[in-house]
Each structure stands twice: as structure tokens, then as C-alpha cells.
Amino acid sequence: MADSPTGPARLDFFVAHAAGLSRKQAKALIRGGAVTVTGEDGAPRTGLKANSSVAPGECVRLDGAVLTLPGERYLMLHKPAGRVCALEDALPTVIDLIPAEQRRGLRIVGRLDRDTTGLLLLTTDGQWAHRLMSPRHHCAKRYRVTTAEPLDDAQLTRLRDGVVLHDDPAPTRPAEARALSDTELLLTISEGRYHQVKRMLAAVGTRVVALHREAVGHIELDPDLPAGAWRPLTDAEIG
């Protein structure tokens, strides 16, 4: 049955995702009459077009075979340095690390800079991604930060209290900052401003030389996952 996890879906979207086809191929099949849709009462629909809406409970067939949408996918990737968080780019991308057959419909949840490493989440579930990244939800993100110069207690206190960034008059939300050594700290923020961690450290008078994301919300980077590798999230991690 046509069971879209987010409600009604366009017919060409449904056919493409259920059959592993391109949208262009799906549209050609719909035009050619290879796709049929019946309601819960078993009555066939007529006048089908690519932009026809398929409701949950309707049955979609391709050449007589019932189509179903694949379930939502949730992945954890250990991002290495040197890859950009994009689905397509002239530079090496994080999506290139995912097998081609697993990429369809994936979106990146909370991007990392090219030189930043660590936890990156990818999913086909737009609502789940929004819950994690929406500014309204203040999802905590923990980073291991290495600085160019030693940090003193006064600088750590400023990070905890919130700092004013260059060209941004609103101070950052209070953060958790715990020194691991003179030049290394764990910094947990609940915002997602542009280059925020690097700008926060610049605001207190130092420079970030290495940045690694360890956690997003309750999801921790798997310590057994090497750089460049990925795995599906567990049910507990998905929440």
C-alpha cells in the first residue's frame, strides 16, 4: 500500500523512490500507462499524472506489481577532514563515502566545515532532521576543540557566559566549557550560527587549530567507527 511516512506524496516521487528510478523515468512510465493507483475501496483512479497525489492507504502498481516506499533511513558518519558537507560539489564530499545505492533521498543534518571532523548525521526523514537542527529546539552539540594558544579561566568563563561575535551584536547562548589541557577543551553549544565555535574562540582571543564534533543531542559518535566510515543509527539513537 502507499504508505508515505509524511502523508500524501506526488505520484512521480512515489514511483521513483519505490522502484529505484529517476523522476524522469517515473514520469515516462506514468504517461505510458504502466502505473495504476487504486483507492482503499479498490476503485481505480483515472487521469493519472506525474503530479497526482497519492494518499496513505492507496495502492500503487507498476506493470501490475505493488510498489511500497522504503522506510526512512538514519545514518551516522565519522567525517574525515578534507570533505565538504554537500550532496554534490567539485571537491570531495561526504556523500561520496556512502554507497550509491544508499544515497537516494539522504539529506545532511547540521553541516561541518571542510576541515572539521567527527559526528555527521544523514537521513531521509526531514521532520527528524528539523527537530534536531531547528533553532527553537536548542539541540546541544559537543565539540573537542584544540586552540593555538593556552586558555585561562577568564576565557573559559566568558565562553560559559556567552560572548559577542564579530558582526553579530546578540551574544551567544551560555555554553559548557571544560578544559582538558591548556590548549584543548570540550565545548557544548545549543545554537548553530555560522562557524560558531571558531568565532567564539576568536572572540575570547585565540584561534581554533582543530575541531572535532563528538555528539549531537543524545547521539554520540561511535568510538569504534573509523574516520570515513558510517553505520545506521540504532533505534535508541533515533529516539
What would you measure as the largest C-alpha separation in the chain, in angstroms? Answer: 73
* 235 a catalytic residue: no
Place of cell 576543540: 145
The burial of 208, by beta-carbon neighbours within 10 Å (0-12 exposed, 13-18 middle, 19 or more buried), is given as buried
Per the residue annotation, which of 89, 96, 113, 168 is the catalytic one? 113
Rounded to whole angstroms, what are the CA distances from 21 to 6, 42, 85, 184? 20, 26, 25, 48
Q: Which residues are catalytic?
A: 113
